[in-house]
Structure 1
Amino acid sequence: MRLLPGSLFGRLTLILIVGLLLAQVLSATILLRDRHEMFRRSIGVDLIDRIGAIVNLIEETLPADRKRILTAFNGLLLHIEITRQPVARPGVGLPFERHLERMLREQLPRHQEMWVHLKPRHFDRRPERPPGDHSDETPERDRERPWRRFPRPESFQIQIRLHDGSWILFEKRLLEALQAWPFKLLAYLGTLIVSVIILSLLAVRLATRPLRTLADAAERLGKDLQSPPLEEKGSTELRRASAAFNTMQHRLRRFIEDRGEILAAISHDLKTPITRLRLRTEMIEQDETAEKFRRDLDEMEKMVNATLEFMRGSEQQEQAGTIDITALVESLQDDLHDLGQELEIIKQGDISPYVGRPLALKRCLTNLIENAIRYGDSAVVTLKQDASNLTIVIHDDGPGVEEDDLERLFRPFYRTESSRSRETGGTGLGLGIARNIARGHGGEVSLRHGEPRGLEAVVTLPLRKE
């Protein structure tokens, strides 16, 4: 299974999103650790230091003056009072209670009797530990769910026995906002992540759009050399790529045009001496030698014309239009019927109009159908279409060819007369012309063995909008 998406847009998006999520998770972890440390200090070290100082001050103060001191230290969040009997019950042995008690004993080593009790906001179902059980064993449930080790208390009480036998009670109220989950912070981080992801998607889309434009232009170029050039705009790299692409397209077009001009000149130069030779042949004595001359001249003329047809099949100067493929094949069927040849047409489903070059496609199908009839008694054309391709299968009932020759038949002037008919062999360019035309439409022509015998030529043409 591929972990990375196939497209550049998908890969860049995945890299950005993963990087952003990791950065935000790391930032949130650091913030929450700092916040937790602040919480522990606020109800831990700082408060224990203050309680230790107050206890030492009370121990050194006369009983008559203690009330005045307590009044001075009492506030909204901290309540202090002195009682004859202990008021707070011992804690249940929560890890944080034991942590505070250890700190308090270090601060007040001369005071042995003290209790620390957290008052949770919600009912705690954990069983209480027996008084005096200060073991550090953490309950199994706390080990499995460590977030429960630090409850959200409403307040906590610390009661310490003074040297005169009385008890001093400290009750510290805890602000809920200080210990609650920082939902505002998490909401801010979530909003930030979503916003950055959306902006990143837009940025990646804008950055990869020129690549899609370049890919589409390359695909159009493979089907039509006359397609409009790319606009040379955007970043420096994009303008350079567009300019290089346009230069390549211009050179390809000029190469095709130059080749056509050269072939036209060759055709003119060859046909003239062929015509002179044909006239001179008529002037010599009509015997077997003259007949051989005429056959050679006919073959030369046929090869020249076939070569020109082959080169024209590679050109794409004809304008594209909407073609009714069914009507086109039926017109070929009528033409063959007039010549006494049979062509059967099979339609598998609806065939929608195709956008292409009409004359070129007619030449392509004509070559394949005539080739099938030439090497078999008849031909069958099957038309079918799916969501992306139009497929035309031409089947003959001839002797077929060897497996190794299926691809060689497309080579110019290649014929397998050992396996096909020798009586009506062509020049060996018909299949090559058909393939050039199909490839000019972005399609393909291939050969395969027919069932139960014969050969099948399969024309695959991609569907495109008009």
Structure 2
Amino acid sequence: MAELIRQPDAIDRAGRFIRQILPKNLFARALIIIVAPVLLSQSILSFIFIDRHWELVTRRFCNAVAGDISYVIAELDIAPGADNTRMFVRARQSMQLDASYAPGAALPEPVEVRYPILERVLRTELTRVVGLPMTIDAASDADNIHLAFDLGEGVLRVSLPLKRITTSTNELLFFWMVGLSVLLLTVAILFLRNQIRPIVRLTEAAEAFGKGQPIGEFKPSGAREVRRAAAAFIAMRQRIERHLRQRTEMLAGISHDLRTPLTRMKLRLAMMGGGEDEAELTRDVEDLERMIEEFLAFARGQEGEQPAEVDVAALIGEAVGAANAGHRPTPVEMPALEPLTVTIRRQAVKRCLTNLIDNAQRHAGHVRVSMAVSDRWIEIVVDDDGPGIPDTRREDAFRPFVRLDAARNPTDGGVGLGLAIARDVARSHGGDIFLETGPMGGLRARIRLPV
């Protein structure tokens, strides 16, 4: 039972290790899908065909040489004073064997092995066919192999060309195999890069649209599936832009229609003789006008503002300076920040940050603003020591016109749009806002924006 439990754990660990070492981008993974089978097939071909083919051909060459040497030994006259010159000449001309006989000589000492496989096969065939003690010297001469056989009463020395027992077809086959593989892989890589490029362009367009940046000229290209995805993205972008445009136009009309009666009401109040009723009506009109302005600010978002290069540290300093201006009850602290330039909508991000700082000042005694930078994100953090927001109500705090009376003062004049506007700005830049329990005991608002 324990073995069955440990086996899935080992499989999971192996799977995690493979996922860690595999590349993350699509081009590299597709390249592996192409290259891996080619390398595997080439390796199998090299091992099964080339190695076996080379050894088989070498064995046959060595067997033929062993047969020729066996014939020379059989024809050799080792009697004292015998003349074997004619036989040696015939062996040289017909068999490419340069042979000589030394009566009374001893076998030379063995030398180092230069071609392990070749010498092993040659020794095996000579032992099987000739069956005499021998030495093989392939190291002293680059073009020839020197053999010596002990005939009992003397030593027969035989030299033969190395090319007689080797073949060049393996090198040619290997060259063509590798060259053709490199050529095909090059063509495949170029083709694959052209297929991946439309996906990369679609990704860049989607990221730019998510950050609220202009996309420029983007047209569907590539394979049919990629074109369909690009066309769907363009249609989605057009629907979203049309919705935002209609929302802005509708609210601009509402603003115009509401401002006209508000103006008439303010004029009539100014013509009244005064009194407690007039003061109450004036406050109601001012509250209604402020609610309309905040509602329009939420609805417009950052329409009309183009992204630009902005120093985020300087922008935070401006927001903190504005928060500390006048007779604000709670000053805002900010450490010295290094300059950091990114592409954002300046006024929109400043409005987002100002809303968060205003909320913190309204409900806390101490407020601190800081910034952290990583490879992918910029995080602007607003900490306070106020009552905070319960975990179960934090998501509700981002809903428009929702006021959390347990954590917010109902007489502060807000209408519940500050956090909604802030999150709308952050998400339109490809980021988000998170509410957490801060180290000062109150609420931490963390704005995350892409670098």
1:117 corresponds to which of 114, 134, 157: 134
Tell me how far 1:415 sits from its aligned partner.
1.9
Report the CA distance between 1:213 and its aligned residue. Answer: 1.6
What's the secondary structure of 1:452's corresponding residue?
coil
- 2:141 corresponds to 1:154: no
Percent identity of the aligned residues?
30
Alpha-carbon distance change, 253 to 229 in structure 1, aligned in 2, over 3 angstroms: farther
Match of 1:138 in 2: none
Q: Structure 1 residues 189 and 398 mapped into 2: Cα distance closer, same or farther (>3 Å)?
A: same
* Post-superposition CA distance 1:162-193 (Å, at most 9, x none): xxxx9995835241685599778767766666
| Residues 88 and 174 (structure 1), Cα distance of their counterparts in 2 relative to 1, 3 Å cut | farther
Q: Structure 1 residue 53: deviation in Å?
A: 6.1
Per-residue deviation, 1:209: 2.5
1:432-447 equivalence runs, <5 A: 432-447=420-435
The AA in structure 2 aligned to 1:101 is: T
Q: Where do 1:87-236 residues align within 5 Å?
A: 89=107, 97-104=123-130, 115-122=132-139, 154-157=145-148, 171-175=158-162, 178-179=165-166, 201-224=189-212, 226-234=214-222
Structure 1 position 217, deviation (Å) = 0.9
1:243 aligns with 2:234: no
Indicate if the aligned counterparts of 2:314 and 2:339 stay in contact, CA closer than 8 A: no
AA of the residue aligned to 1:17: V
Query: Aligned equivalents of 1:91 and 1:53: distance in 2?
Result: 25
Deviation for aligned residue 1:369? 1.7
- Evaluate the alpha carbon distance shift between residue 21 and residue 269 of structure 1 in structure 2; reply closer, same or farther with a 3 A threshold: same
Residues 63-86 of structure 1, C-alpha deviation per residue, up to 9 Å, x if partnerless?
A: x99875564344373145788x67
Select which of 23, 38, 54 maps to 2:57. Answer: 38
Q: How many residues align?
A: 416
- 1:88-122 residue CA offsets vs partner (Å, 9 max, x unmatched): 74999978535433345xxxxxxxxx515232234
Change in Cα spacing, 1:299 to 1:115, as seen in structure 2 (3 Å) is: same
Decide which structure has the larger Cα Rg and report it: 1
Q: Answer yes or no: is the 8 Å Cα contact 2:108–2:135 preserved in 1.
A: no
2:116 matched to which residue of 1? none
Comparing 67-76 with 386-395, greater Cα deviation is found at 67-76
Structure 1 residues 194 and 358 mapped into 2: Cα distance closer, same or farther (>3 Å)?
same
Superposed CA RMSD: 4.6
Please list every run of 5 or more consecutive structure 1 residues that lacks an aligned counterpart in the other structure: 105-113, 124-151
- Structure 2 residue 442 is the aligned partner of structure 1 residue 451: no
1:366 to 343, 354, 362: 354
List alignment gaps of at least 5 residues for structure 2: 1-16, 111-118
Question: How big is each residue's C-alpha offset from its partner over 1:376-404, in whole Å with a ceiling of 9 and x where there is no partner?
Answer: 24533334545554332223332222122
Determine if contact 2:366/2:384 at 8 Å carries over to the other structure. yes
State how 1:277-288 maps to structure 2 within 5 Å: none
Asked if 1:260 is matched to 2:248, the reply is: yes
Pick the structure with more helix per residue: 2
Q: TM-score, normalised by structure 2?
A: 0.73
Give the one of 306, 309, 314 matched to 2:297.
Answer: 309
The residue type paired with residue 120 of structure 1 is D
After superposition, the Cα gap between the structure-2 partners of 1:48 and 1:9, relative to the gap in structure 1 and judged at 3 Å, is same
User: What amino acid is the match of 2:444?
Assistant: E
Tell me, yes or no, if structure 1 residue 321 matches structure 2 residue 308.
yes
In the alignment, which residue of structure 2 is the partner of 1:24? 42
Measure, in 1, the Cα distance between the counterparts of 2:363 and 2:32: 57
Q: Give deviations 1:236-269, integer Å, cap 9, x for gaps.
A: 5554443333232222211211222233344455
Q: 1:10 is matched with which residue?
A: 28
In 2, are the aligned partners of 1:91 and 1:97 still within 8 Å (CA)?
no
Secondary structure at 1:350 match in 2: coil
Question: Aligned partner of 2:145: which letter?
Answer: E
Contact 1:120–1:155 under 8 Å retained in 2: yes
Deviations 1:267-318 (A, max 9, x none): 455566777888999999x9999999887776665544433222212x4421
Seen in structure 2, the aligned counterparts of structure 1 residues 8 and 354 have a Cα distance that, compared at 3 Å, is closer
Deviation at 1:417, TM superposition (A): 0.8
Secondary structure at the counterpart of residue 430 of structure 2: coil
**Larger CA deviation: 31-40 vs 430-439:** 31-40
The residue type equivalent to 1:175 in the other structure is L
Match of 1:47 in 2: 65
Match of 2:398, SS state, is coil
Aligned in 2, Cα 1:35/1:339: closer, same or farther, shift over 3 Å?
same
Q: CA deviation at 1:197?
A: 5.6
Structure-2 change in CA distance of 1:201 and 1:412 (3 Å): same
Offset of 1:42 from its aligned partner? 1.2
